[in-house]
Each structure stands twice: as structure tokens, then as C-alpha cells.
Structure 1
Amino acid sequence: MKAYQAGMQHFQETGAKVFGISTDNTPSQKAFAAQLGLSFPLLSDFLDRKVAQLYGVYIPKFGIASRVTFVIDTDGKIDTIESGGDAIKMLHTPDACSRLAHKKAS
């Protein structure tokens, strides 16, 4: 999440909307966001884990979701997926956002 916060200027320049979602409850999300100084919203999928299930990242055995980043285009289609360490390091997300912004502009 720190990498995404650090990259907020780039995301804003490309018109990307950034938010986080996890299976943590809302109070935990608020504390986490405050601790890291996040300027983007964190959403909770705590009650039914439906979003995690629909995106195929839910791990039922542990009741959590994998760390995955989805870049979704303006048509609602998934353009880029980063998982594991790549999702944390944000290796391809900025380039994907730039590419989609360029595609939209042309």
C-alpha cells in the first residue's frame, strides 16, 4: 500500500482511480489507512467475501484474499493482473495505467 500511496501523483495524472479492498473489517481498514497515511479509500469485503470470490482471489481455508492488483479499463475489463510480490512492489501497474490513459486519449 505504501508503494501505491507513493505513486498517487502518477495515478492521478493518468486518470486512474485507486482503492484497496480486503477481507478485513472496516475498523481495521480505517486504522491501517491512518497508520500508513493513505489518501485513497480502503473497502471492506469482510461480511461475505463476495468480491474476493468473484475475482478468484479468496482463500477459504484462511478466510482471506491473496494480494493481487487488478488494473481495470474504462469498459470494466481487467487489463493487468499483478499478484504476490509483484502486487506489493507495483511493478507493472503504473505502465498499465499510462498505456490505458494513452489509449483513451487517442
Structure 2
Amino acid sequence: MKAYQSDIAKFEAADTQVFGISMDSFASNREFAKQNGLTFPLLSDWKRDTTKAYGLYNETSGYGNRGTFVVDKEGKIQHIEIGRTAIDPTGAFQACDLIEQRKAAREKQQQKP
């Protein structure tokens, strides 16, 4: 999460909303965000609905795997990274950049007579 916070300006420049989801309680997430200087929302999935819906819940351990999902403005998943440790935000930023490039290309194409 710290790496995403460090790159928050890049994501904002790409018209992207960053947020985290954790299975921890609201209070735990608030404290974690405060301790780590997070300025983006950290949401609580204490019922594990979102974690399960995105295929991150590990039934054996009862924990969620770490994942990064880039979802476009139409709600379509454009990029997925799954890992056991903190995930570098580079792939997510590149996916956001690619979405913006495609958007610009479509707009340019629509402007042609």
C-alpha cells in the first residue's frame, strides 16, 4: 500500500481512483491508513464478500490473497495481478496508462470527418 501511496500522483494524473480493500475491521483499517500515511480510501471487507467475488479468498487459511485489479470506468477489469506479498504498482499504472491511450485514440478517431 505504501508503494501505491508513493505513486498516488501518477494515478491521479491518469484520472484513476486508487483504493484498498482489506478483510480487517474498519477500526483496524483506519489505524493502518493513519500509520502508513495513506490518503486513498481503505475499505473494510469484513464479511469477505468482495474478497470472495474477486477470487482472492483462501478457504484453507481463511485469509485473502493480495491482488491488484484495474477496473475501467465501464466496470470492466483491464488488469489483474495476484501475489502473496505486496504488489508493485508499476503494472497497475501501466494498465491505467494504456486505458488512457486507448481513450485518446478513440476520441481522435471520432474527430475525423
Regarding TM over 0.5, the answer is: yes
> Structure 1: any 5+ residue segments left out of the alignment?
none
Report the Cα distance in structure 2 between the residues aligned to 1:15 and 1:59, rounded to whole angstroms: 32
> Structure 2: any 5+ residue segments left out of the alignment?
106-113
Percent pairwise identity? 44
Structure 2 residue aligned with 1:93: 92
Contact 1:19/1:41 (CA < 8 Å) preserved in 2? Answer: yes
State yes or no: 1:11 paired with 2:11.
yes
Report the Cα distance in structure 2 between the residues aligned to 1:21 and 1:45, rounded to whole angstroms: 6
Report the Cα distance in structure 1 between the residues aligned to 2:84 and 2:53, rounded to whole angstroms: 22
> TM-score scaled to structure 1, two decimals?
0.91
Superposed, 1:54-73 pairs within 5 Å as 54-73=53-72
Contact 2:5/2:38 (CA < 8 Å) preserved in 1? Answer: yes
> TM-score scaled to structure 2, two decimals?
0.86
Over alpha carbons, which structure has the higher Rg? 2
Q: What do residues 2-50 of structure 1 show as CA deviations (whole Å, max 9, x unaligned)?
A: 110011010000001100001111110000000000010000000x211
Q: Which amino acid aligns with 1:43?
A: L
User: Whose relative contact order is higher, 1 or 2, with alpha carbons under 8 Å and at least 6 apart?
Assistant: 1
Show structure 1 runs of 4+ deviating over 4 A.
Answer: none
Report the Cα distance in structure 1 between the residues aligned to 2:84 and 2:25, rounded to whole angstroms: 23
State yes or no: 1:43 paired with 2:72.
no
Report the Cα distance in structure 1 between the residues aligned to 2:63 and 2:36, rounded to whole angstroms: 21
Cα root mean square deviation, aligned: 1.5
Report the Cα distance in structure 1 between the residues aligned to 2:73 and 2:104, rounded to whole angstroms: 12
Q: Which stretch of the first structure deviates more once superposed, 86-95 or 34-43?
A: 86-95
Report the Cα distance in structure 2 between the residues aligned to 1:10 and 1:76, rounded to whole angstroms: 21
